[in-house]
Amino acid sequence: MLNLLKPLRNPAPKFLFGLMAVTLCASCSGARSAGEPRGNGNANSAADTTVAITVTKVETRQVPAYIQATGSLVADETSDIAPKTAGKIKNVMANVGEFVVQGSIIATIDDKDARLQLTSAQAGVKQAVAAVRQAEARLGLSPNGTFNSSTIPEVRAANANYQQLQAELRQAEANEKRYRELVETGDVALITYETYRTTRDTARARVNSAKEQLDAAINTAKQSNQAIASAQAAVESAQTEVGTAQQALADTVIRAPFSGFISNRPVAVGEYVSSASIVATLLRSNPIKIQIQVAEADVPYVSIGRGVTLQVDAYKDRRFSGTVTSVNPSIDAASRAAIVEASIENSDNALRSGMFATARINKEGGGTGIFVPKTAIYNDQATQSYRAFVIVDGVAKLRVLQLGAEEGSHQQILSGLEPEETVATSNLDQLYEGAKVAV
């Protein structure tokens, strides 16, 4: 009796194993990808299923012709700012990442020595001006007065003496003539005449001496006037030194040469710098430039002023526009491409130097493109393909797509669809080849 009951022991494990096998098979039959009909072994029930969808027509649009290339963004201007004079950094007013306007202060250098030089130069000007006034006073001139030798006191005295002696000479010559005539007539003795002749000769000598004194006084006055000119030249030289000292003082202030962003500031307060030291690096990023390589075959279609659009990974939903500014006249022998530069508007500083970008350069011509809403495109992860469903007489027809460019909410289709076809725009994950739909 016990032997008969042994086969009946523990029947539950065999029963559970069979139940699990049935469950696994059922779950495996339920797995599918987009485009495959759902079913659990009952094909008729899957065929009778109707999927509610929305639809739209495939559109055709004019698309411009363009050259697509990649490149890197670079600042429109880059400046390594260096001081004009050597010294110790006193203050730093700008940090990395800050926007500075043209002329704003980046840093200052200790200006103690420059101020002392300026003070010394200004004192030199005062001394030179005093020397001018002293030279003018010697000649009896008012400050900044005009030189005239006849107005100089020494010259006036010498001239007066000369004029007086000339008058005496004329009187002596007249007496000598009269007495010479009287001698000839025998009315006056010869000894008397000789007295007047001697007087005349003495008067002539005195006139000549007075003339020499007058000339000497005039020469002295002219020399004194040259001393004034020399003193005035010394004033101008001292003023030049003041200007140099003022410039040296101004050079202790380091200013931004143009408006832009600080990308590097390698100095700190207390550091000694020279004219070869870099205090900061300044970038002008609006507009910003892109440098792209254009294939040799496309170079003839690129010219200055052509429109350019670009995209960067950081802003995938934005397009930035600009124009071609330069085309390198040479072709690189290794890459068989030419470097093209374009200027891109960047008023909000969204684009940064060093970013990698995909650019499109517009060229003449164009064509017709096929577009559908992005909602009509299904990304099938199982097959790693893009699909759409064309609706014909209430039945879904599967199409594999090749995508082109995006335009807002629409996507260009390079292959897979035809113009004016009707495509599904909702519940795409429930559709498959041959599925019945209700619009």
Give the torsion through C-alpha atoms of 268, 270, 273, 278, to 10 deg: 10
Q: Exposure pattern of 118-135 as b/e (b: 16+ CB <10 Å)?
A: beebeebbeebbebbeeb
Give the CATH number of domain 50-63+369-438: 2.40.420.20
Structure tokens at 213: 């004194």
Structure tokens at 169: 């000479």
Contact 106/89 with Cβ under 8 angstroms?
Answer: no
Q: What is the pLDDT of residue 202?
A: 93
pLDDT of residue 307 exceeding 50, the answer is yes
Mean pLDDT, residues 361-376: 85
Q: Does domain 114-250 have CATH number 2.60.120?
A: no
> Which range among 129-143, 150-164, 326-340, 415-429 shows the weakest confidence by mean pLDDT?
129-143
The most confident of 22-36, 180-194, 240-254, by mean pLDDT: 240-254
Q: What is the pTM of this model?
A: 0.53
pLDDT of residue 242 exceeding 70, the answer is yes
Beta-carbon contacts of residue 268 (< 8 Å; ≥ 6 apart): 89, 92
pLDDT in tens, 33-75: 555 554 444 444 445 689 999 999 999 988 777 888 889 999 9
Kindly report the number of other CB atoms within 10 A of residue 151's CB atom: 14
SS3 label, residue 48? coil
Beta-carbon contacts of residue 309 (< 8 Å; ≥ 6 apart): 319, 320, 321, 322, 359, 360, 362
In one letter, which amino acid is 171? Q
Domain residue limits, the chain: 50-63+369-438, 67-73+284-365, 83-110+252-273, 114-250
Secondary structure of 75-111 in HEC code, one letter for each residue: EEEEEEECCCCCEEEEEECCCCCCEECCCCEEEEECC
DSSP class of 42: -
Kindly report the number of other CB atoms within 10 A of residue 196's CB atom: 21
> Which range among 67-81, 147-161, 333-347 shows the weakest confidence by mean pLDDT?
147-161
Sole residue written with tokens 């910003």? 288
> Mean pLDDT score of the chain, rounded to an integer?
83
Task: Give the β-pairing of 315-327 and 337-344.
Answer: antiparallel
Burial class (CB in 10 A: 0-12, 13-18, 19+), 268: exposed
Q: What is the pLDDT of residue 398?
A: 95
pLDDT in tens, 157-207: 888 998 999 999 999 999 989 888 888 888 888 888 888 899 999 999 999
DSSP class of 350: -
Structure tokens at 422: 């009707």
Q: What is the pLDDT of residue 151?
A: 66
Contact 92/375 with Cβ under 8 angstroms?
Answer: no
The domain 67-73+284-365 belongs to what CATH superfamily?
A: Efflux pump adaptor protein, beta barrel domain (2.40.30.170)
83-110+252-273 folds as OB fold (Dihydrolipoamide Acetyltransferase, E2P) (2.40.50)
Distance CA 137, CA 144 (A): 11
Distance CA 105, CA 101 (A): 9
